[in-house]
Amino acid sequence: MQPKTYQTRIYYEDTDCGGIVYHANYLKYCERARSEWFFAQGILPQQNNIGFVVKNMNLDFLSPAKLGDLLTIHTEILEQKNASITLKQTILRESLSKQTQTKKPIFVAIITLVCFESTAQKITKIPQWTKDIFNTPHQNQIN
C-alpha cells in the first residue's frame, strides 16, 4: 500500500478564546493520522484482540495554528521493540499564499505505543504479521 498524507483544516471548533488551536487538539490530529495510517496498512482496531495504546509522549509546540490553516501530519517510525513502537509525528502548516507553497513545522511529537492484548488486559509482543507491515519499504511513513 502506498504511503498517504493526512491533512486537516482548522475550524472554529478547534480554536480557543485567543483564536489559536487549543493545545489538546494537536494530540487529536496526531491520533487521527496514526489511526488512518494503521487502517491503510490493514491494522484494524482490536484485530486478533490486540491494539496499540500510548505509553509515552514528548511534545514540542513550535508555533500556533489558526483558523483556516491547512495542516499536514507526517508520521514516521523511529524505533521498534518487541512490544512497542516509537513514532515521530510532525505537524506542518501550509502557507496560505498562492505565490509560495511552503510547509512550516509547528508541532513535533515523539510517541511510544505499546501492543496491548485486550482479552488479558496486558502488554504483549507485537505479532509478526504486524512487524512485517512496519518493516515493508515505504510503509513506515506518511509523507
**1-15 pLDDT, tens digit each:** 334 679 999 999 999
Note if 132 is an active site residue: no
Q: Which three cell numbers stand for residue 27?
A: 494530540
Q: Which three cell numbers stand for residue 93?
A: 502548516
Residue 130 counted as domain residue = yes
- Total number of domains in the chain: 1
- pTM (2 d.p.): 0.86
Whether 89 contacts 32, CB under 8 Å: no
Residue 142 counted as domain residue = no
Active-site residue (options: 16, 60, 69, 132) = 16
First-last CA distance in the chain: 13
Q: Residue 136 pLDDT more than 90?
A: no
CATH at residue 104: 3.10.129.10
Residue 143 counted as domain residue = no
Give the domain extent around 81. Answer: 6-137
Residue 1 counted as domain residue = no
- Looking at the chain, the whole-number percentage of residues with pLDDT higher than 70 is 88
pLDDT tens digits for range 25-78: 999 999 999 999 888 888 887 677 888 999 999 999 999 999 999 999 999 999
Q: Which three cell numbers stand for residue 131?
A: 512487524
Residue 109 counted as domain residue = yes
